[in-house]
Homo-oligomer: A and B are copies of this chain.
Amino acid sequence: MNSMALLVQKFGGTSVGSLDRIRAVADLVKKTVEAGHRVVVVVSAMSGETDRLLHMASQIMPQPDEREVDVLLSSGERVTIALLAMALQAQGLAARSFTGRQVGIVTDGLHTKAQITRIAADRVREALAEGIIPVVAGFQGINEQSDVTTLGRGGSDLTAVALAAALKADRCVIYTDVDGVYTADPNVVPNARRLRKVSYEEMLEFASLGAKVLQTRSVTFAAKYRVPIEVKSSFREGEGTLVTQEDQDMERVLVSGVTGDRHQAKLTVVGVPDNPGIAARLFGPVADAAIVVDMIIQNISQDSLTDISFTVPRSDLPRALGLVRDIAKSIGARAVEVKEDIAKVSLVGVGMRSHSGVAAKMFEVLADEGINILMISTSEIKISCVIEEKYLELAMRSLHDAFELSRDNGGLS
A60 B102 Cβ-Cβ under 8 A? no
A60 B97 Cβ-Cβ under 8 A? no
B68 A86 Cβ-Cβ under 8 A? yes
Tell me, yes or no, whether A69 is within 8 Å of chain B by CB: yes
Contact of A82 among B68, B82, B96 (CB under 8 A): B68
Contact of A56 among B19, B64, B96 (CB under 8 A): B19
B102 A146 Cβ-Cβ under 8 A? yes
Tell me, yes or no, whether A303 is within 8 Å of chain B by CB: no
Q: How far is the CA of A102 from the CA of B99 in the complex (A)?
A: 14
Segment with Cβ contacts to B, from A73-81, A204-212, A274-282, A360-368: A73-81
Tell me, yes or no, whether A57 is within 8 Å of chain B by CB: yes
Tell me, yes or no, whether A72 is within 8 Å of chain B by CB: yes
Q: Which residues of B contact A146 (CB under 8 A)?
A: 102
Contacts A59-B19, A75-B75, A75-B78; is A85 near B68 (CB within 8 Å)? yes
Q: How far is the CA of A60 from the CA of B83 in the complex (A)?
A: 7
Tell me, yes or no, whether A53 is within 8 Å of chain B by CB: yes
Q: How far is the CA of A101 from the CA of B74 in the complex (A)?
A: 14
Closest chain-B Cβ to A75's Cβ sits at a distance in Å of: 4
Contacts A19-B59, A19-B60, A59-B19; is A78 near B83 (CB within 8 Å)? no
Contacts A53-B79, A68-B97, A72-B82; is A90 near B19 (CB within 8 Å)? no
Tell me, yes or no, whether A61 is within 8 Å of chain B by CB: yes
A56 B68 Cβ-Cβ under 8 A? no
Which residue of chain B has its CB nearest to the CB of A23?
B60
Tell me, yes or no, whether A160 is within 8 Å of chain B by CB: no
A71 B82 Cβ-Cβ under 8 A? yes
Interface size on A, as a range, is 35 or more
Q: How far is the CA of A75 from the CA of B76 in the complex (A)?
A: 7
Q: How far is the CA of A255 from the CA of B74 in the complex (A)?
A: 50
Q: Which residues of B contact A65 (CB under 8 A)?
A: 85-86, 89
Tell me, yes or no, whether A133 is within 8 Å of chain B by CB: no
B78 A60 Cβ-Cβ under 8 A? no
Tell me, yes or no, whether A30 is within 8 Å of chain B by CB: no
Tell me, yes or no, whether A67 is within 8 Å of chain B by CB: yes
Q: Which residues of B contact A148 (CB under 8 A)?
A: 99
Q: Which residues of B contact A82 (CB under 8 A)?
A: 57, 68-69, 71-72, 75
Q: Please encode chain A, from 1 to 40, with 1 for each CB lying within 8 Å of some chain B CB and 0 for all others.
A: 0000000000000000001001100000000000000000
Q: 10 closest A-B pairs (Cβ-Cβ)?
A: A72-B82, A75-B75, A75-B78, A71-B82, A68-B82, A61-B90, A60-B86, A64-B86, A68-B85, A61-B86
Q: Spell out A's residues near B (CB within 8 Å).
A: 19, 22-23, 53, 56-57, 59-61, 64-65, 67-69, 71-72, 74-76, 78-79, 81-83, 85-87, 89-90, 96-97, 99, 101-102, 146-148
Q: How far is the CA of A78 from the CA of B74 in the complex (A)?
A: 8
Closest chain-B Cβ to A149's Cβ sits at a distance in Å of: 13
Closest chain-B Cβ to A267's Cβ sits at a distance in Å of: 38
A81 B89 Cβ-Cβ under 8 A? no
Closest chain-B Cβ to A88's Cβ sits at a distance in Å of: 10
Q: How far is the CA of A99 from the CA of B81 in the complex (A)?
A: 18
Q: How far is the CA of A85 from the CA of B87 in the complex (A)?
A: 34
Which residue of chain B has its CB nearest to the CB of A77?
B75
A22 B75 Cβ-Cβ under 8 A? no
Show 12 residue pairs from A and B whose CB-CB distance is below 8 angstroms, ordered by the A residue. A22-B60, A57-B82, A61-B90, A64-B86, A65-B85, A68-B82, A71-B78, A71-B85, A71-B97, A75-B76, A75-B78, A101-B101
Q: How far is the CA of A101 from the CA of B71 in the complex (A)?
A: 13
Q: How far is the CA of A145 from the CA of B72 in the complex (A)?
A: 24
Closest chain-B Cβ to A78's Cβ sits at a distance in Å of: 4
Q: How far is the CA of A97 from the CA of B111 in the complex (A)?
A: 14
Closest chain-B Cβ to A73's Cβ sits at a distance in Å of: 8
